[in-house]
Each structure stands twice: as structure tokens, then as C-alpha cells.
Amino acid sequence: METYDREAAELESLSQRSDAEIAQRIADLEERLRRSRAVDWSKLPPTDLWDDVRDALLVPDASWNQPAPRLGVFARIVAAFRRFFAWLRGLFSRERRAAPPPRRERTVPLALATADGRSLGDSELGEALARLSTPERRELADRVEETIRRREQDLEREAEEKRRQAEAQRKQLEREREEAQRRAESDTDRIVRDAEQRRLERELKERGFVSERGGDLAVTYGLVERFARLLLEETSRQLPGDVRLSLRGGGSTGIYEKARLRRAEEIARLDVPSSLLEARLVGSRHIDEETSYVYREITSERVHVVVAFDRSGSMAEGGKLDAAKKALLALYVAVRRRYPDATIDVLAFDNTVQALDLVELWECKPGAFTNTAEALRAAHLLLQSSRASRRELFVITDGLPEAYTDELGQVRSGQLDVAMEHALERARELATVAPLRSAVILLKSEHPEYETAARSIARTLGGEMVVTEPTHLGIELLVRWAHGTESEQRPRVPPPAAAVPATPRTGRSRRRRGDRRMGG
């Protein structure tokens, strides 16, 4: 910036000097013009005007630079008679013949005489001035004044051109300075960002929140768990008072066991001797989260929670998949906070079903179609073999069952009726697990058939069904887990209608069922 400022100052100083010089030259020309008006042109002018006089004398269209006009035939005849009569008068006259008047020399074109590039010397200048007539001297005075004014105009144009050039250079310097300043600020920001990123990466690595994986940084379980705690705190502010109280912890049993520190609330029951010993064994002088032992209360109730969430392609729309991830993370921390030994299974399903940990849950991507039947089958296998006294199932989806797995283990899609039948069959199998509390949470959609399908599955499971917005999903999930009242009033599920004889479907109705929207 200092270099550009110095160049701009030098340019401004040079422009001022140039303007002052041209202004002085114009003032000199004005003085010469004033003195030229007082010159006697029958004599040599002052020497400082000689250049202007030479320029005026050499103007090609001046009267003295024009050839003498040729006489016509009549004028030549008259002149011949006049010379003849004059000769006769002189021949017969007895008086002494007077000397003829001096003949005026013919004007020599000065411009033609100097066509080879020569200029008029001092003596030639004096002779040229002596040969001029009075009208020609007046014309010369006008020519000299015009020459001086023309030089003055040339100087003004030169000054204006220099000003334009200086202004263009100044603007160019300003643009270069602004660009240099932007580059400097960008470089500074980049350096600061890089330093901050390196510091953050180093701190996150030291705290165990990120790790190197294939040359890139990857989040760890600890970072996702910390984020899940923040999500739970944020969501808990919107919960009813009774639900917030029920999420704080289970009933007291008075039975404790010594174990590793899992959450910050347990630090009040820190086992100091064991923690200090562990810190010394690992070579640390201070107690941290990795070396802390606490006395944890053993609760009498054993809990098993299975959450199956839809990750089909349609969940990528409207932020539904991200909302489901945040809601599940908050629920995970809420269950762990109340029941540290609870079993929590997170199932993500599209065409297939996959069990996820917290890191895999956060990195989960949308998939293909919705195989609800396979998700219910996996939940049945997990809950049937569980020994927990409290078993709960939450199914989160945004559409119809679209795919199913046939007897050969092949995933089929495109037959909505068959997929729905498979889902209901798996729901009937899952309903045999006791005790079981279930809820089907449907994310709002413009298609009423989605809600109809979700209600049928919820009725078959013997649980409840909730329709909610993605932004309200976390609240609804925590309310159901805490066995609280609904935060949004929903119409009750109507009792199953009596079976009626099936009417044969026409080809038109079958086509209409087949044309229903896919991608839920």
C-alpha cells in the first residue's frame, strides 16, 4: 500500500509541475502577443518574435507568397501603346528626360523559396520585411498574432492531453491499489483461517473428537455425543414441564457400582482414589474424562429401545433426513441419561436395513425405496430376544411401503399393494412381542394415502400414530419416550371396521393404484 501511495504522490507532483510549466508557457505567449501588437513591421521586430514572424512569412496562402497576376491581352496592348507613346514623347522632347520612377520589384514567393526545408535567415528576414507593402505588413501582423494564438491552443491541447493521461494513470493506480489491498486482505484472512483451522484440528484431535481417516478428518463418537447433548438441551426447552422432569433420571435404588465416567452429571459421585491411580498409571498428573471413575447407581428397570427411521430418497427433501438424525441423537442422550445401561438400536432402512452407531447415524445418506417390512422384521428379531422389562419401538417414515424382500431374499419394488401386505404381516409378528410400546411417526405429506398406510401399520402394532412436521419431530419423539401427553392434539385412531366382502377391481382401479406416487 505504501508503494502505491508513493507512486500516486509522485504522479500528482509530476502532473502539477507539468500544469505549472504549460501555464507559464501560455503566459509567455500571451506576453509575446501583447508586444507583437505594438511592433513597427517596417523594421525588424524584437528577436524573441523572429520565430513567429518566420512562421507567418512562410504561410503558403499569404498574399506575398502568391505569384504576380498575369495581364490580359487588352491590358498588354494598352501597356504596349503606353510604352510606345512614352518613347515618342521622350524622342521629340527637348527637355531633359526625367528618370523613370523606380520600378517595384516583383514579390518573390517565400514559401516556394524555402520548400526544401530551409528557414529564413536574419538577413533574409529583413529583406522580406522590406519588400512588404503596407497592406501586407498589416496582414503579417495578423498572421503573427494568429501564429501565437495557434501555439497557445496547441499548448492548451497538450496540457489537456497530459491531464487525461495523468487521470488515467491515477485511476489505474487506484485500481491496482484496491486489487492489491483485496489480495492482502484475502491473504491475511486465509492465513488466519488456516491458523485457526490448524488450531481447531489440533484441539479436536487432542480431545478425541476427530481422527485421521484416509488423509481426511473424520468425526468420532465423542464429538457426536457432545453434539447430541446440545441437541437434547435445545429440544428440552420446548418440552412440557412434566416431560422435562421425567427426563432427568430414574428412581433411586441405593445400589451403586464403580465404573468409568460417562456423562458430566456423574462427576458428583467421583471416586477420587481410583481416578488418581488411573491417571498415574497412564502417565498423567491430572484427572480427565478418560481416567475418571464414578459410583453409578444401578436401576432396577432394564430398557431396550429400537428406532427404525426411513432413509429413502424422499427423506432428502425438505430437510427431513437431517431432522430425523437430530431427533434420534437427542433421544439417544435422553435414554442414556435416564438409563445408562439401556440398549439402544438404531436401524436405517431403505431397500435394506442397516444397524448404525452414532457416527454412522450422523454420516447416513439417503438411499432408494422404502422397505418398511424389512425394518419391522429386524426390529422383531432384536426385541424378541431382548430380556428388557421395558421395550419400545419408534418407526419414523414419510411415505408408503414401496419395496419388500421376497422368499429368495431379493428386494422387489414397484408393487405397492404387495409391499403394504408384507409390512402388515411383519407388524403382526412384531405385535406378539410383550411387553411392547410402539409409535409410528409420519412426517407430514400432501398425499392422504400415506397417513392411511401409517395408521394401518400403527393399528396392527397396537401402538399409536403421530403426524408431525420435521421441525417438531424431536419434541414428539421425546414426549412419546417420556410417556407424556401429546404436544399436538391428534385425532384418535378409529376402531377397525367390520370386514366387508371385497368387490372385484376393474382394470381402471388397478391402474389408478399403480399410478400412485413412488419415492416415499
Q: How confident is the model over 484-504, as a mean pLDDT?
A: 43
Lowest pLDDT segment from 287-296, 315-324, 338-347: 287-296
Give the model's pLDDT for residue 470: 93
The predicted pLDDT at position 120 comes to: 58
pLDDT at 274 over 60: yes
Task: Give the integer Cα–Cα distance in Å for 217 and 201.
Answer: 8
**What is the reported pTM?**
0.53
What value does the mean pLDDT take over residues 30-51? Answer: 77
Average pLDDT on 15-29 reads: 85
Is a pLDDT exceeding 80 seen at residue 413? yes
* pLDDT above 80 for 345: yes
Of residues 202 and 346, more confidence is placed in 346
CA distance 490 to 495: 15
- Which range is least confidently modeled, 10-14, 91-95, 342-346? 91-95
What structural domains does the chain harbor?
A: 2-94+106-170 (no CATH), 224-251+301-494 (3.40.50.410), 258-298 (no CATH)
What is the spatial distance between Cα 193 and Cα 343, in angstroms, rounded to a whole number? 42
Share of the chain above pLDDT 70, in %: 83
Residue 397 scores a pLDDT above 50 = yes
pLDDT at 121: 60
What is residue 414's predicted lDDT score, i.e. its pLDDT? 84
Q: How confident is the model at residue 201 (pLDDT cuts 50, 70, 90)?
A: confident
**What pLDDT does residue 250 have?**
53
Q: Which three cell numbers stand for residue 478?
A: 421425546
Return the percent helix, strand and coil in the chain, to nearest 5. 55, 10, 30
Task: Between 133 and 362, name the one with better pLDDT.
Answer: 362
Query: DSSP code of 254?
Result: S
| Band of residue 27 on the pLDDT scale cut at 50, 70, 90 | confident
Indicate whether 379 pLDDT > 90.
Answer: yes
> Hunting for cell 501565437 — which residue is that?
148
User: Using CA atoms, how far apart are residues 518 and 413, in angstroms rounded to an integer?
Assistant: 10
Q: Cell 453409578 belongs to which residue? A: 296
Supply the DSSP string of 447-481, one letter for each residue: -HHHHHHHHHHHHHHTSEEEEE-GGGHHHHHHHHH
What is the rounded distance in angstroms from the CA atom of residue 203 to the CA atom of residue 220?
Answer: 13
Residue type, 96: R
Q: What was the pLDDT predicted at 512? A: 38
Average pLDDT over residues 37-63: 75
Q: Quote the pLDDT of residue 100.
A: 55
When the pLDDT of each residue in the chain is averaged and rounded to a whole number, the result is 80
Using the CB atoms, write b or e for 362-374: b if 16+ within 10 Å: bebebbbbbbbbb
Task: State mean pLDDT over 345-362.
Answer: 93
Greatest Cα-to-Cα distance within the chain, rounded to the nearest angstrom: 174
| Alpha-carbon span 427 to 381, nearest angstrom | 12
Q: Is the pLDDT of residue 327 over 90?
A: yes
The larger pLDDT score, comparing residue 29 to residue 111, is at: 29
Helix 416-430 / helix 372-384 crossing angle, nearest 10 deg = 10
Quote the pLDDT of residue 97: 53
State residue 509's pLDDT score. Answer: 41
For 98-156, the pLDDT digits (tens) are 555 554 444 545 554 444 445 556 567 777 777 777 888 788 888 888 888 888 888 88
Query: Average pLDDT of 195-221?
Result: 83
Angle, nearest 10°, between helix axes 416-430 and 507-514? 70
Q: What is the pLDDT at residue 347?
A: 96
pLDDT value, residue 115? 43
Arithmetic mean of pLDDT, 230-245: 84
